[in-house]
Structure 1
């Protein structure tokens, strides 16, 4: 199991942080689309490293077209010498329509087409195939030599897709190379909902099982050396779990455990702007379903035992700021 790290949104420190991630022994560095462009940050990370994977976890697919994604992915594969991973997610309707001013409709079929269209463009550039993609949401039929980049030795990057719901998860299994398990996931939900959906998608693509398919899981960990530090970080993790739990699209994760009413309460509190009160809704039972809690020496082995047979890659995920030395202790404890 490979253990990766996330880059912060401090873009002025990206190169130094990426180099530190590599020297500390992590396998990859991920950028996310929050305050800054994740592709520019990925380029900075690739420039500062030599061997680790660099990727977007995640970039918002519906904020872009297949052509823009094709350009970004193909160029970053070359800049990184084959180390770039194109990680995509759909986001939710209000953000797509009101933040990005882009169309929203039938997210799972649209995402399927977005990835297939991007791959069709790459096939034109890398393999010389005629561009003739015609779908319900995207059409790409024009590619002249002036706009065709030179093929390069690294080829198109792998594509990972993030999902929670069954339909989008099936799409990941069918058209992607890997899958981001949302941190707001329990092992029960993974085993009863996520894995079966991935397998259905793989079957649609004529593939058997998950061999060659990467499951990547940002995993909640709640770590502290002292009782005081641990208590503060428990509060931070509960706040982040509550934030995700307030989103109606993630209700099904709570419902599988019989916690559907908590989603109603969290959603109501979020609409009232009572963000500081939401952590109180998350019980210790809920916390321990989503996160492993303890000292670094305790959490490391338990994390490996929990997800090591299912995940090929993980990233430590907390709802709080932790000093790098604390994560370093946790990384050492997983070895």
Structure 2
């Protein structure tokens, strides 16, 4: 099992030295990868910063919003980062939701499963042209790419095409990931029970239909973790994770996870609070039982063994937040890999 570290740079984008030092620290600690997300900033820019000062660690987006871009612009960016990192880049894509695509990004929405399948196929058609010399002639319902001249074809193809992994929650998107991508990014709003009973069987069935081997498909998951070196840190982490569980639980798309545990009645209550600006009251509906079902809860020296016991037999990669001292993180990585 590989262990990745999530990377959030907040408002420090102007401190390049500090950002690069954090990438180096994660490589030194033994993490297998660093994952950047598209939240307040572009997720690709810091990947380039990290690639410049590291040698081994994998560099991944988790996620970049696919539908905010075209397959062509994404193909160029992913290619360049893979070359710049000498083959260490993985393109992690997600769909976002319709309102953000159409109202925030001002881009068209065709339905996430169909559009994501076409997006990934278009990427590979473009890369087939660049890396294998095939004519570019992709004609889909959402995207069309039919022109590529030598002047606009990248020259350095020695590192091959980047791997493409895809975020998925519902059945259609899970099927799409298993059909089209090199791996799946499981949403953090998930439990071992839902993963084992609902998600993994669907992945296995779809891979089998496509004649693909499970060992060639990567399952990655970022678990909720509640821990801290002091009682104050622990309580702050507990409230932070309760809020995130409540936030995701308010969304109808995530209701099946609650239904798996008989908590489907919680979703409309959380949803109503979210519509009435009751965000600060939503965590109060998350009991300790619900918290401990979704999250690994314990002292720093305990959580690594709990994470391994819960997920070591289910997933190929884990993504962890890294707010603990370096010696603690190093020991946690050792335990989870052991």
Q: Please tell me whether residue 167 in structure 1 is matched to residue 172 in structure 2.
A: yes
For residues 1-335 of structure 1, the aligned pairs below 5 Å read 1-9=1-9, 10-11=12-13, 12=15, 13-208=18-213, 210-317=214-321, 322-325=323-326, 327-328=329-330, 330-334=332-336, 335=338
Greater mean deviation of Cα atoms: 76-85 or 305-314: 305-314
The answer as to whether partners of 1:133 and 1:140 remain within 8 angstroms in 2 is: yes
Point out where structure 2 has 5 or more consecutive residues left out of the alignment: none
Q: TM-score w.r.t. structure 2 length?
A: 0.93
Q: Deviation string for 1:190-240 (max 9, x for gaps)? A: 1122112212332343224x1111111111111123444323321111111
SS at match of 2:222: strand
RMSD: 1.6
Change (3 A) 1:224 1:330: farther
Q: Aligned partners of 1:316, 1:216: CA distance in 2, in Å?
A: 11
Q: Aligned partners of 2:242, 2:198: CA distance in 1, in Å?
A: 23
Matched pairs, number: 331
Greater mean deviation of Cα atoms: 168-177 or 98-107: 98-107
Q: Deviation string for 1:168-189 (max 9, x for gaps)? A: 0111101111111111011111
The answer as to whether partners of 2:89 and 2:162 remain within 8 angstroms in 1 is: yes
Change (3 A) 1:189 1:207: same
Greater mean deviation of Cα atoms: 108-117 or 150-159: 150-159
Change (3 A) 1:35 1:228: closer
The structure, 1 or 2, with the larger RCO (C-alpha pairs under 8 Å, 6+ apart) is 2
Point out where structure 1 has 5 or more consecutive residues left out of the alignment: none
The answer as to whether partners of 2:20 and 2:50 remain within 8 angstroms in 1 is: yes
